[in-house]
Amino acid sequence: MQLRIISPRGTLFEGEVQRVLLPGEKAPFVVLRSHAPLISSLSEGRIAYTTPSGEMAEIAISGGFVEVKNDSVVVCTE
């Protein structure tokens, strides 16, 4: 699954991941491969993702939006 995190400053991350944990407006949620399409607002928190090699990483955000479709996750954050 492809993850892309973009902000006004540029691309914060772009690459292949196994899973993504996102700080949803109502509650945190996880996106895995073959996830149903969705668009959601994000609150302040951390995006945590796992790479294909099993490495975990986090990026702090102050809010934004996410679109999930066709094994692609695009996050627009401030």
Q: What is the DSSP string of 7-27?
A: ETTEEEEEEE-SEEEE-BSSS
Average pLDDT over the chain reads 96
The residues with which 58 forms a beta bridge, in sequence order, are: 48
Longest Cα–Cα distance of the chain, Å, equals 30
Question: Hey, what are 7's tokens?
Answer: 């902000």
Per-residue pLDDT of the chain (78 residues; tens, 9 = 90+): 999 999 999 999 999 999 999 999 999 999 999 999 999 999 999 999 999 999 999 999 999 999 999 999 999 998
pTM of the predicted structure, to 2 decimals: 0.92
Q: Answer yes or no: are the C-beta atoms of 62 and 76 closer than 8 Å.
A: no
Element (H, E) at 77: strand 72-77
Q: Is 2-77 in CATH node 3.40.640.10?
A: no
Note the pLDDT of residue 78. Answer: 83
- Domain ranges in the chain are 2-77
10 Å Cβ neighbour count for 12?
14
